[in-house]
């Protein structure tokens, strides 16, 4: 009997008003959070640009003064660009610090103490 009822329900859906492409597309966007993901990518690339310029124009000259070179990317050892690698490591560490601070701020701002305790971080 359940089979007949479920088959009848499916046949009713076949005659229902068809969903337009636009409605289906927006339903997909809402269901999978694509807008939030896109905003995250855009904000992430903007933060990366800021971190890159911070390292290039502030950190790199300070380290260059300390070790005696103005441009860290010019440091090489048998054609291995050690200075460029050091710049990328500094970029990565600062970017991870920014991400950590942003996530911890959002968690403390928008979650209750009970919700924070149930998170598995």
What would the pLDDT profile of 33-92 be if each residue is shown by its tens digit? Answer: 777 778 888 888 888 888 888 877 887 778 777 877 666 677 788 888 887 888 788 878
Query: Whole-model pTM above 0.75?
Result: no
Compute how many other C-beta atoms are within 10 angstroms of the C-beta atom of residue 73: 17
Q: What is the chain's mean pLDDT, rounded?
A: 75
Statement: residue 25 has pLDDT above 70: yes
- The rounded distance, in Å, linking the Cα atoms of 30 and 24 is 10
The CA distance from 27 to 33, in Å, is 10
Q: Residue 77 pairs with which residues in a beta bridge?
A: 80
Structural domain includes residue 12: no
- The answer to the question of residue 6 being in a domain is no
**Both tokens assigned to 80:** 């291995």
Q: Tell whether 30 is covered by a domain.
A: no
**For residue 110, is it within any domain?**
yes
Count of structural domains within the chain? 1
Q: Would you say residue 67 lies in a domain?
A: yes
């Amino acid at each position: 009997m359940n089979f007949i009822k479920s088959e009848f329900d499916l046949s009713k859906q076949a005659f229902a008003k068809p969903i337009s492409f636009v409605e289906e597309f927006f339903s997909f966007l809402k269901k999978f959070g694509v807008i939030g993901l896109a905003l995250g990518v855009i904000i992430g690339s903007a933060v990366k640009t800021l971190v890159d310029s911070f390292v290039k124009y502030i950190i790199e000259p300070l380290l260059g003064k300390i070790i005696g070179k103005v441009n860290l990317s010019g440091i090489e050892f048998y054609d291995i660009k050690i200075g460029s690698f050091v710049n990328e490591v500094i970029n990565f560490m600062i970017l991870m610090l920014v991400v950590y601070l942003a996530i911890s701020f959002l968690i403390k701002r928008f979650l209750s103490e009970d919700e924070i305790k149930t998170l598995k971080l």
